[in-house]
Amino acid sequence: MASDKAFVQKVLSKLEPLQVDARPMFGEFGLYFKGKMFGLICDNTFFIRPTEAGKEIAGRVGTGFPYPGAKPCYKISSSKLNDHDWLTALVKLTADELPLPKKKKPRKDVK
């Protein structure tokens, strides 16, 4: 089941004033901050990638799998989604620890 755009907008509004982008990915959405994918929205559920820095403040957050075969991520409940200070701190710490994506090599023309 694909996530609806209303839920994506709700999550983005909870993350303001952070400049988070939501990009469509196979019917779901990847969330990016400072050019790094830190989370996913799958089946109208918000997931954040676990990091050592994030673990420090995550507390007793449940984990789940955004899609079959995925690594476990923090599953953000509706009560945690409403905790603005905690949520933005978790996103900042997570993004700061994640590496920048590798540059893609230009495609060679096939003749």
What is the tens place of the pLDDT at every residue in 55-99? 989 888 999 999 999 999 999 999 999 999 999 999 999 999 998
By CB atoms closer than 10 A (0-12, 13-18, 19+), residue 66 is: buried
Token pair for residue 50?
């676990």
Alpha carbon distance 82, 88 (integer Å): 11
Provide the whole-model pTM: 0.88
The reported pLDDT for the residue numbered 16 is 95
Domain ranges of the chain: 5-97
The reported pLDDT for the residue numbered 111 is 65
CATH topology of domain 5-97: Yope Regulator; Chain: A, (3.30.1460)
Closest CA to 61 of 37, 41, 44, 81: 81
- CB neighbours of residue 102 within 10 Å: 6
The reported pLDDT for the residue numbered 107 is 79
Stronger pLDDT, 27 or 109, i.e. the higher one:
27
- What secondary structure letter does DSSP report for 17? T
- What secondary structure letter does DSSP report for 19? -
